[in-house]
Amino acid sequence: MKQLRITVAGQTFDVTVETLGGSNAAPAPAPVAAPAPVAAPVVAAAPIAAPAPAPAPAAGAGTPIQSPLAGKVVSLDVKPGTAVKEGDQVLTLEAMKMNTVIYAPANGTVTSFCVAPGDTVAENQPLAYLG
């Protein structure tokens, strides 16, 4: 048995520690640290290339309809070439077992979809384009 005094955050505690499995011999001396290795010369790392930007939409693709949240595409509710008015349902996403309807942000014609049913999408990812 050893008596120890420990101070934690300014408070002092007297504790008794029982040594298990072995004799009550004096503790082994602390190991001597090995000499520090000689530092190798520092080689500058190659610069990390910035990620490639997303491909630009085709000329005349129009206004993007972006995903307001991350989720999975459930259905495309109109076909490319369909004229829509602001507020018309364009597609449906599912996130956290709830469906979220994505509406046209403006009047126009759906020129193309960037996703298909079953695709996983990220927040702010273009889903379709209005022309």
Judge whether 116 lies within some domain: yes
Query: What is the model's pTM?
Result: 0.53
Per the structure, the complete domain to which residue 109 belongs is given by: 63-130
Judge whether 71 lies within some domain: yes
Judge whether 17 lies within some domain: no
- Pick 7 or 43 by higher pLDDT: 7
pLDDT value of position 98: 92
pLDDT band per the 50, 70, 90 thresholds, residue 92: very high
Judge whether 105 lies within some domain: yes
Judge whether 11 lies within some domain: no
Task: Find out whether 60 and 43 touch, Cβ atoms under 8 Å.
Answer: no
pLDDT value of position 3: 83
The H helix count followed by the E strand count for the chain is 0, 10
Measured CA distances, 87 to 7, 25, 36, 84 (Å):
66, 82, 69, 8
Number of independent structural domains in the chain: 1
pLDDT digits (tens, 9 = 90+) for 35-84: 666 666 666 666 666 555 555 445 446 889 999 999 999 999 999 999 99
Tokens linked to 70: 């991350």
pLDDT value of position 60: 44
CATH number of the domain at 97, please. 2.40.50.100
76 vs 64: CA distance, rounded Å: 15
pLDDT value of position 24: 58
Measured CA distances, 82 to 46, 111, 123, 128 (Å):
49, 8, 25, 12
pLDDT digits (tens, 9 = 90+) for 97-127: 999 999 999 999 999 999 999 999 999 999 9
Query: Cα–Cα–Cα angle for 67, 71, 72, nearest 5°?
Result: 105
